[in-house]
Amino acid sequence: AGCTMVLKPSEIAPLSSLVFAEILDEAGVPAGVFNLVNGDGAGVGSALSAHPDVDVVSFTGSTRAGIAVTQNAAPGVKRVSLELGGKSPNLVFADADVDVAVRQGAAHCFDNTGQSCNAPTRMLVERSAYDRAVEVAVEAAAATAVDVAGKPGDHIGPLSSQAQFDKVQGLIQTGIDEGAQLVAGGLGRPEGLEDGYFVRPTVFAGVTNDMAIAREEIFGPVLVLIPFDTEDEAVELANDTPYGLAAYLQTSDADRARRVTRQLRAGMVQLNGSNRAAGSPFGGYKQSGVGREGGRWGIEEFLEVKSVSGLDP
């Protein structure tokens, strides 16, 4: 179609985008088709999203920044696709294999040092299995190694910036102040990693859904466990969030899986540790964004529909 694009990577982590640009250049993509512009969001990002020559803006980042992008794009009435933050629930029913479900859920939460928008950071556990779930989550946190990013081995690395480190530390302190039970990790850096933005994999028990650590996107390796008594309560807790990106469900009851999945207000639901299908849409409800990435849905975000009548066949 002859459409061109401009990519502005994160000013905090731009290197992968630079490599991508080099790959496209070496592959022979004509000059001007793909363009990379570095800069901060407030300056370069705002200018790009407001520019009259830009027809579509696709943004991945925080909800706060997504709102700013939408406001900048509004005077031009241009289309905006947003993939934003999340506070994804992981519903663990007692009929699931609780040990496996909690280990997998904790690993997914801690993966990428918790810097994933779809991380299952709120683990909602049926009360009869709650104590065991806490034990397994503590074991999972203790087994999660932390080390420098370039070192070989299975471990998580540092956070992306000083600002993010300070935010995570502040929310851990908030959880302590709110009365949640700190059962693993906590404030400060792991032993031997005094330099850098390293965080201890952290688990809170005794959490209620009105606490800040259960409502704010922490974007760090912090898992909170919340008990529930009934299926209806589990769904209510899961949906009681301004976000709606992803949800996770662990149960051996197929009928329950169908009932609960239909009621979850999230753009993506994954059952019993399954992976997302290739080509499936990625995106959420509410303050987690608008539009979708991935598959044909992602392509359609960049397409226009034209109706033509009266041409001879």
Gap between the Cα atoms of 126 and 230, Å rounded? 7
Cα 88 to Cα 248: distance, rounded to the nearest angstrom: 8
Please state, in angstroms and rounded to a whole number, the distance separating the CA atoms of residues 72 and 77: 10
Q: Radius of gyration over alpha carbons of the chain, in Å?
A: 21
Distance between CA atoms of residues 253 and 65, nearest Å: 40
Q: Note the helical H segments in 27-126.
A: 46-50, 63-73, 98-110
Helices (DSSP H) in 53-207: which residue ranges?
63-73, 98-110, 127-143, 162-178
Catalytic residues: 83, 117
From CA 37, how far away is CA 6, in angstroms rounded?
7
Say which DSSP state 192 is in. Answer: T
Distance CA 2, CA 32 (A): 11
Length of the chain: 313
Q: Which residues of 64-94 are buried (b: 16+ CB within 10 A; e: fewer)?
A: ebbebbbebbeeeebbbbbbbbbbbbbbbbb
Determine contact, residues 148/258, Cβ cutoff 8 Å: no
3-state secondary structure of 228: strand
